Every structure is written in C-alpha cells, then in structure tokens.
C-alpha cells in the first residue's frame, strides 16, 4: 500500500507523521519511507542519517552542433519555455534551468543540428534505520522543475514496490506539480493539518486536490491542543474524509527535530490501526 503524507501548509508535521507512521508500521510489515520533498528534504536530517547516493537524475539538454546549425531560429521559436535564446546572426544558446526536456527544438531542427546532451538536475539517495528503509530525492539548487526528481523517485518506487508492505511518501508543502506527482502514485493520502486558520485553509485546498485526483484520504490534526477543532470539522464536512488521528503538540517532538530525543511512537499507534484496517 502506498500512502502519501501531505498537507498544503508547511510546518504542520508531515515529516513528523511520516516518520512516526513508518516506525509503527514497521511492526506490521516491511516499510519504505520516501522523502519526496526534493527541494528541501529533511527526513535524513531529522533521523540524523548519512545518505548513500543511488543515482543521479538527468534531464535532456539540447546541445548545438555548430557545424550544422544554420541559425534559422526554428528551435527558439518552437520552445515554449523560453529556454533557447537566438540572437540574429549568432548561434543559439540554452538557458538550462528553463529547459523542460521536451525536445521540441530537436524535432523542428531541419539540419539535425541538435544532439542529446544531459545535465544532472538532482540525486536519489538511500539509507536505512533499524526499522525501515528510506529513499530521498534532492534537486540541484536552481532547478525549476522539481517534479523531474520527484518523478524519478516515483519510478524507483514502482521498481521496488513489491518488496515492501507499506510505502510512505512524505510530500512537499503546496499543491503544485511535485505534490501532484506523489499523490498520483499513491493509494491513499493522510492530510496533516493544524488547528489554525492557515492550516485549515490549506487543508481545504488539499481536500479539493485529492477529490480532483480521485484519491481516498483522511485527515490528521497535529498540535490539536493548540486550537479549536471546529473549523477543521466544518471544512471536512463536504468531503468524503474523516479525522482519523489527533496528535498533541509536544516539546519533545520539537526537540527530536534538534536531535534531542527519540520520537514518542505511542503518539502514532492510532494511525497504525487506521492504515492496517485499510
């Protein structure tokens, strides 16, 4: 079973819940925890683990064969991402960060003057804890299309999914492409929220996103004792979703982020029962 832990708002506790859930589910079967926040991966930092590089993530970059290029400008015109700059009477050049890898330039070039180049845009790493395995992705700083690395992670998951009983994906904040890529690859989502106006607002957006994607989901209220649950309940009413767990704010959990102490796994027991029952 592949479970995404998401939430929209940053800092609500996605990584915390992902790690806690990975610990408790490890008693029920083999677990793979995937850090799909490729812009700012944190799980290896919270768990204080060294990562081992598995592979680089490359993207296609056009390379111009200057002996064949006739400076016709067709490549630049065909590029929808403004990644090829063509100044009159000069050879075109690539703005690598903006290239999506679509190869439109290569398709339209009448002189076969564009050859395959590649650029490493990120890496995939792995590490293990005593209880579960982990995969993490990390983008090269400046990469616009974070989903290239997240998609590569999803491909890795598909290759190994039969080796695991549970795969937990910790998504990034937001509701844009890298989050959609992870949710699209999941069977179920846990939407983590906090009882603040921002948390509830963003939870509403993610409930809507999961509905659009047809993804079964439920809600976890983290730091539930710091505010009222009423707005959360109001927002969920219109969706096929329920509050399945309430986790209290705990200074110890915060401290565990600083390497101060171990996670209190009993906080996640009810979540384990929810997942196992599915």
Partner 1 sequence: MKKVAFVSGKGGVGKTSILASTLMFLKQDFRTICVDADVDTPNLHLLLGKEEELLRYDFSAYEKPVIDYDKCTGCGKCSENCNFNAIEWSDGKPVVNNFLCEGCKVCSLVCEEDAISFVKKKTGEVIESLTNKGVKLFHAELIMGETGSGKLVSELKKRAEEDGDDCELMIIDVAAGIGCPVISACRDVDYAVLIVEPTKASFNDMKRAWNLLKHFKAKAGIVVNKFDLNPDFIEIIEEFAEDEGIKVITKIPYDEEFINSLNKLEIVMYNSDKLKEIFKKISNEVRKNL
Contacting positions for partner 1 (CB under 8 A): 8-12, 15, 37, 39-40, 42, 45-46, 48, 60, 78, 80-81, 97, 100-104, 107-108, 139, 141-146, 172-178, 180, 184, 195-198, 201-202, 205, 208-209, 212-213, 226-228, 251, 254-255, 257-260
C-beta of 228 vs 234, nearer to partner 1? 228
CB of residue 230 to partner 1, shortest distance in Å: 12
C-beta of 60 vs 127, nearer to partner 1? 60
CB of residue 18 to partner 1, shortest distance in Å: 13
CB of residue 276 to partner 1, shortest distance in Å: 29
38/198 Cα distance (integer angstroms): 23
CB of residue 162 to partner 1, shortest distance in Å: 21
C-beta of 104 vs 168, nearer to partner 1? 104
User: Which helix (H) or strand (E) segment is 167 a member of?
Assistant: strand 166-170
Residue showing tokens 């111009």: 64
C-beta of 12 vs 244, nearer to partner 1? 12
85 strand-pairing partners:
93
263/261 Cα distance (integer angstroms): 7
- Nearest partner of 119 among 142, 135, 153, judged by Cα: 142
67-96 burial string, b = 16+ CB within 10 Å, else e?
Answer: eebebeebbbebbeeebbebeeeeebebee
C-beta of 76 vs 164, nearer to partner 1? 76
Query: What is the DSSP pairing of strand 243-247 with strand 217-222?
Result: parallel
CB of residue 88 to partner 1, shortest distance in Å: 24
């Amino acid at each position: 079973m592949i479970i995404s832990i998401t939430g929209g708002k940053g800092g609500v506790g996605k990584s915390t819940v992902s790690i806690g859930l990975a610990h408790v589910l490890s008693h029920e079967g083999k677990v793979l925890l995937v850090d799909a926040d490729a812009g700012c991966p944190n799980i290896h930092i919270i768990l204080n683990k060294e990562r081992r590089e598995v592979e680089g993530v490359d993207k296609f970059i056009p390379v111009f064969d200057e002996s064949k290029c006739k400076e016709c400008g067709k490549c630049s015109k065909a590029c929808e991402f403004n990644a090829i700059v063509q100044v009159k009477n000069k050879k075109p050049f690539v703005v690598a960060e903006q290239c999506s890898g679509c190869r439109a330039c290569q398709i339209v070039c009448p002189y076969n003057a564009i050859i395959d180049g590649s650029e490493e845009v990120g890496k995939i790493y792995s590490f293990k804890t005593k209880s579960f395995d982990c995969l993490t992705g990390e983008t090269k700083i400046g990469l616009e299309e974070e989903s290239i690395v997240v998609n590569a992670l999803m491909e890795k998951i598909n290759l190994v999914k039969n080796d695991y009983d549970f795969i937990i994906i910790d998504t990034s904040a937001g509701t844009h492409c890298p989050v959609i890529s992870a949710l699209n690859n999941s069977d179920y989502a846990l939407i983590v929220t906090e009882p603040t106006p921002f948390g509830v607002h963003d939870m509403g957006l993610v409930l809507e996103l999961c509905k659009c994607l047809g993804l079964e989901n439920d809600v976890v209220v983290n730091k539930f004792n710091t505010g009222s649950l009423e707005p959360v309940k109001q927002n969920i009413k219109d969706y096929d979703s329920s509050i399945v767990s309430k986790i209290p704010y705990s200074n110890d959990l915060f401290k565990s982020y600083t390497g101060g102490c171990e996670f209190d796994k009993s906080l996640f027991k009810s979540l384990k029962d929810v997942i196992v029952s599915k």
